[in-house]
Chain A
Amino acid sequence: MAGPLDGYKVVELAEGIAGPYAAMELGDAGADVIKIEKPEGDRTRGWGSKAKGSVGAIFRTINRNKRGITADVDSDEGAAQVRRVLEGADVLITDAGWSKHPDLQPEALLQRNPNLVIVRFSLYGKEGPWALQAPYGELAAQMASETTTNLGVITEAPVRIADEVGQMFSAVNSVQAVCAALYARDAAGGQIIDMSLFGSLVVIRSTMWVGLSNPDFWWGFHVDAYTKPAHYGYKCSDGFVNVQLGRMSRESRDQLYKDLNMEWVKSDPLFSLLDEDTAGGNGRYSHRVHHLWEKAFAAFTRDQVYDIVERNGGNVFPKNTYEMFVNSPQAQSQELLTTVPTPGTGDIKMMRPPWDFGDTEASIRRPAPSLGEHTAEVLAELGVRA
C-alpha cells in the first residue's frame, strides 16, 4: 500500500528543524523527497549528543525518507543545478534567506513553475517589522510569543518549553497548508505559503488570548496559570504523579480523605479550599493547597495513590520519563517505535508516523542520507553529470 502522497515530488531547500520535519512528514506520507544541502551540510548534523564523530540522532530521524544532494546554492552554477532538480517538483520547502541567489527566491521559482506549492519558513512571518527573518531562533520566538511565561518561577530566569516546539508546531501547520494547496492546485495553481515559528506559537495558544480579551472575566485554568508557581505534579514517596479528581460525591470525597489518612486536613485553615480543589494543578487555588495533598501522598507510593484515588472515582497518571513512556504497555500496544536499518550505524530506533490510514499507509522506507549521498544519482535521473 503506497502512502497518500505517493507520486508527488518534494524538494527541500531548508535546514534546522521546521523545514526538514515538514519534508519528512510528506516523505512519510509517500512523497519522493530530495533534500538539498549546502556543501557544509544541514546545521542539525552537528546537534545533539551523538554529534562527535558521527551525525546526531535529531538529524537522522527528521531526514529519513529523503535522498540527499549538495549544491553551492549561492553560486550561479549551484542555482542552475537546484533549478534542474526543481523541474517537475510539486512542492518546495524552504527557509527565508536560505539562498541569496535571485533565481532561488520563492517568487522567482513560482514564476518559473506556476504549479509549484512553496512553503517558506521564517521566524516571525511575512509581514511586519521583523518580516522574513531566517527561522532558526527558537528561543527568540518562544520569548516573543510569551510561550515562556507559563514555565519557571515568576521574577526568575525564563524557562524554555521543550527545545524545538516552535519549529515543530510550525512544521505541522505547514504540512496542513501544503496538502490543502495541493488539493486546490488544479483550480488555483501553485502558490507561496508563509509560515513562522512565532505565528504557530501564538496561534496554538488561542484559548488563552480569547480569555484575556475580557479583563473582567479572566479567571479560568486556560487563562490564569501564568500567575502561579511552577508545577511539577504531585510528589509521592517514589516519584511524581498527575491527579485529576473531577467531580466527586461528598461520600467519595470523605472516603478519599480517609483512605489517604488525611482526615487531619479537616482542621486545617485551608480545608475549605482543598475540599473544592480537583487537584491536577489547574484549580483556582490548587497552588495554595498543593502542599496538603503532597503531605498525604508522601506516605504512599505512586501505585498506592493510583489505587486509592481511582477507587474513589478520580484519575491518576504517572509523570513518565521517556523510558517509562516508550516501554509502557500502551505505547507498545500501538507499536510506537520501529527500527530503521542504517548503513554504517546499524539499526536506529524511531517513532512511526502518527497517523493510521486505512488504505494508504505511511511508512519509513529509507534512512537519512549522508552528505551528498545521492548527488550523482539524482543528477543522472535528470540527465546531468555530477
Chain B
Amino acid sequence: MTSLPPPSKVQLGLVIDLDRCVGCHACATACKEWNDGGASGPLSDTDPYGAKPSGVWFNRVHSYEVGDGADGCTVHFPKSCLHCAEPACVTVCPTGASYKRAEDGIVLVDEDLCIGCKLCSWACPYGAREFDAVEGVMRKCTLCVDRIYNDSMVPADRVPACVQVCPTSARLFGDLGDPDSHVSRTVKEREGFDLMPELGYRPVNKYLPPKRQMKLASLATETAAIDQAGFFLRWVDRLLTR
C-alpha cells in the first residue's frame, strides 16, 4: 500500500560526516558490489567496458568547492536515499510497489510489483531513485535491509555496506528516531542538517557540516615570518621552495 504508515518510533538512517569524507567512492563501490548480488540486485549496467558506460547506483559521490579564496574548501558529498519521513516517491506510486516500512521507516521498492512508470523518480527531489533499463523497474537504496537484520552475519557486519567500508568513518548508521542514540546525539552536537528542508520531505538521513577550515591564514603568517628571518633561513627557504 502506497499510503504512508503511521510514523514509526524507529527511524533507521545514515549520518554523513562531510568533514571526514575524503571522496574515495568506496561507499559507492561497496554499495554496488553488495546490492548487485544481493536481494535487490542486479543493478544493471549497459556498455560497462565500452565508450559510454551507464548503470544503476544507489549511492553517488559528488564533489563541490565551497567558499572563495582562503575560506574555500573542497567538500565531497555522498548522496543516497534519505529515507524521508514524508516520501512523496511512495505516495505517487500507482501500484503499491513503493512503500515505507512501518517498523523502521526504510523506503523500499517491491520490484515484482513495479511497472517502471518512473513517476517516483520524478517525485524525489534528491535523485535517490534510478531506473534500471534492463530490468524495467525502479531501484533504490535499501539501507542494506538484507544486511542489517541478517542473523547469519556477525553483529559487527550488520550495518549497511557503505558504512562498513568507509575508511574514514564518515558514515554513521543508527536509529534517528531515538533522541538518545549515538547518531542522534552526534547530529545534535555537530549541528547536522537536512537537504532541501524547504520542500518538506523531512529526510531521516542527516549531513554533518565540514568544520570551519584550518585557516590558510596561518600559512600566510608563516610566509611573512620567513620574510623577516635572517639571511641563512631565507636562503634555505629559497632552496627548499625551488
A binds B: no
Which residues in B have some Cβ–Cβ distance to A below 8 Å? Answer: none
Residues of A within 8 A of B (CB): none
